Amino acid sequence: MTTEDNAAVAKYDELNKNLEKVEELSQRLVEVMSNHNPVRRELTAPNHDVFTNAATAYWSEMIENPTKVFEQQMEFWGKSVKHFVDAQQMLAQGKLEAPEDNTPTDRRFSNPLWQTNPYFNFIKQQYMMNAEAIRKSVETIEDLPQKERARLKYFSNQIVDMMAPTNFLGTNPDALEKAMETEGRSLIAGLENLIRDLEANNGELIVKLADESAFELGKNVATTPGKVVFRNRMMELLQYSPSTEEVHEIPLVIFPPWINKFYILDLKEKNSLIKWLVDQGYTVFVVSWVNPDRSFADVGIEDYIEDGYLTAISEVKKLTKQKQVNAVGYCIAGTTLNLTLALMKKRGDKSVKSATFFTTLTDFSDQGEFTPFLQNDFVDGIEAEAAEHGLLRSFIMQRTMSFLRSNDLIYGPAIRSYMLGETPPAFDLLYWNGDGSGLPGKMVVDYLRRLCQDNQFVNDGIELCGETLHISDVTVPICAVTCETDHIARWKDCYRGFQQTKSRNRTFIVSQSGHIAGIVNPPSKKKYGHYTNKDLKLDSEEWLEKAEFTEGTWWPRWDTWLSSSSGKMVPAREPGDSEHPPLEDAPGSYVKVLATR
């Protein structure tokens, strides 16, 4: 045998050995899955009525307008048959080439083999045809309520995305090439990654998005110097050390969302909003929420308001010896800040001088992409989950949010980890994304039922803390920062609620990019710009059409607005005082607690 022959045999033997290891790992996979306690069905699939109603509407359409239905079917059948014939003709001519391909560009199919190899190209083109046929069928179904149509569209798209040929080893050229190049080692590494993720989550498949070993809170993320100056069962209050000799008289307290952790605003020094604010001469306080366990089952929105917002504001006033603070609320924390301001108005409490809202919804009349998850069958499932476990476990919320961008946050990472055997990237944003928090049972049910489903805050008012609170009770100077491509809190929905406040001093900003990148957008990046328009009586379309666009981040514009409500300059304040001795260094202890599985 030649040297090349010996090398080929050795490579083949190595491949077979690695494939034997795959069989061993498969036994571990079976073992972990045998102990899997699946999430209740209501949280993984829609009520059968969604598809039953769609099938009924489609059947009615066929009876009443058979021509349109048959035209759709004939178009699909015609394209499929022609595609098959074209491929056969190429082979009959002795050409190992793909037929003409006019399918749209899709980054999932970036490997050249999807274009040049007749096998892969045939599969790709047929998948594209199937996907188009499904979407057209859904779009043309009549006699379905709008919410049912939105749900059907969402779940049919999930099926389309799941069935992409890139998601299967035998039809993914990247994975097959990698397996051959590595003599099967990539398959072993991928299976090990899969088993690792399953074992870490009691058999529940949650794709790890980042290399967790690359990050340590307080070391290379959440590093802005500060102290924990107060703690109760709901939160730790962090006060950051000054970096200027003088600071604005009125302090700033930031309320981050408790769905995730506060350090999205303090990932790294170069993109930390917290550090930037400190450097602008503000005394910055941040609430770090508790990561609840089952003992928090009876904690509701009222507890977040009383023991979180009102307590934090009170302690900040004591620490700085000021009668007022400026406040910031991000996402759900912005929604609750609106509730708190309405309550303070009822009580005659003027402790908040101005409020800023990041990506904040208050009017839920249009539920947008969350429509599938805000119907009774899904919320019933969450209520049952909360009753059984005392909370909505973090991974359920994380998975739900990920499916809104399934190709980017589920299938793409799964392919890289499980098929290609790659280690997740050391990406701080993805690390934060996976470091979630649970939601107390009572709070999440109240939020979904009373705010999202019933839209009480902008309708007849919501009963909380002994008062009836309404969006019109918000009268302090306010600024809202929203994001143009935000799919979680769409800017037009944020605008609709913002318009219903009764504040005389109102500023509304639309930043380019999405829910995170549009907010965490430091001046040094010179990246996403923003839109402003003082005429808040316009509808959203006209507001944006007539808005002024400014290159770069909104941070300096907000600084100008905020500083006008922040009083004179005074000597810088170190964290804590005699009544609030520092308990520990920032970022504190609560942020390091992992979510209950």
The domain locations on the chain are 41-167, 226-592
Lowest mean pLDDT, pick from 1-5, 179-183, 483-487: 1-5
Residue 483 bears catalytic tag = no
Other CB atoms within 10 A of residue 483 CB:
27
214 DSSP assignment: G
Q: What is the pLDDT of residues 234-251, one digit of tens each?
A: 999 999 999 999 999 999
Q: How far is CA 154 from CA 159, 176, 276, 372, in A?
A: 9, 31, 39, 7
Confidence at residue 91, expressed as pLDDT on a 0 to 100 scale: 56
Residue 429 has pLDDT above 70, yes or no: yes
Locate the DSSP E strands across 100-154.
none
Instruction: Compare 313 and 37 and report the one with higher pLDDT.
Output: 313
Type of residue numbered 289: W
Distance, C-alpha 101 to centroid of its chain: 35
- Token output for 380: 């019933």
Confidence at residue 50, expressed as pLDDT on a 0 to 100 scale: 45
Type of residue numbered 97: E
Length of the chain: 597
561/538 Cα distance (integer angstroms) = 22
What is the pLDDT averaged over residues 433-443? 94
What is the pLDDT averaged over residues 553-576? 98
Sign, CA torsion 152/132/514/392: positive
Residue 64 has pLDDT above 70, yes or no: no
Q: What is the pLDDT of residues 86-130, one digit of tens each?
A: 555 655 566 666 777 888 889 999 999 899 888 888 889 888 988
In SS3 terms, 511-547 reads as: ECCCCCCCCCCCHHHCCCCEEECCCCCCCHHHHHHCC
Instruction: Compare 169 and 581 and report the one with higher pLDDT.
Output: 581
385/392 Cα distance (integer angstroms) = 6
399/259 Cα distance (integer angstroms) = 13
Lowest mean pLDDT, pick from 6-15, 405-414, 450-459: 6-15
Q: What is the pLDDT of residues 505-523, one digit of tens each?
A: 999 999 999 999 999 999 9
457 DSSP assignment: T
Q: What is the pLDDT of residues 171-180, one digit of tens each?
A: 898 988 888 8
- Tell me: cis bond preceding 257? Omega within 30 of 0 counts: no
- Token output for 201: 């989550």
Q: Go through 562-576 and write b for each residue having 16 or more CB atoms within 10 A of its CB, e for each that does not.
A: bbebbbeeeeebebb
Q: Which of 331, 452, 479, 483 is catalytic?
A: 331
395/415 Cα distance (integer angstroms) = 20
Lowest mean pLDDT, pick from 383-397, 482-496, 539-553: 383-397
Q: What is the pLDDT of residues 477-497, one digit of tens each?
A: 999 999 999 999 999 999 999
Locate the DSSP E strands across 291-375.
325-330, 352-358
* The CATH classification of domain 226-592, taken from the options 1.10.4030.10, 3.50.50.60, 3.30.450.40, 3.40.50.1820: 3.40.50.1820
Instruction: Compare 64 and 158 and report the one with higher pLDDT.
Output: 158
Locate the DSSP E strands across 154-242.
226-231, 235-240
Q: What percent of the chain has pLDDT over 90?
A: 59
Type of residue numbered 463: E
Summary mean pLDDT of the chain:
87
Residue 43: φ, ψ to 5°:
-95, 0
User: Burial of 314 by CB count in 10 Å (0-12 exposed, 13-18 middle, 19+ buried)?
Assistant: middle
Nearest CA among 558, 543, 555 for reference residue 356: 558
548/507 Cα distance (integer angstroms) = 13
pLDDT category, 57, cuts 50, 70, 90? very low
217 DSSP assignment: B
Nearest CA among 232, 230, 226 for reference residue 274: 226
- Token output for 44: 């993984």
Spatial contact of 413 and 210, defined as CB atoms under 8 Å apart: no
- Token output for 326: 């400026």
What is the pLDDT averaged over residues 561-567? 97
Beta bridge partners of 548: 532
547/212 Cα distance (integer angstroms) = 42
Confidence at residue 427, expressed as pLDDT on a 0 to 100 scale: 92
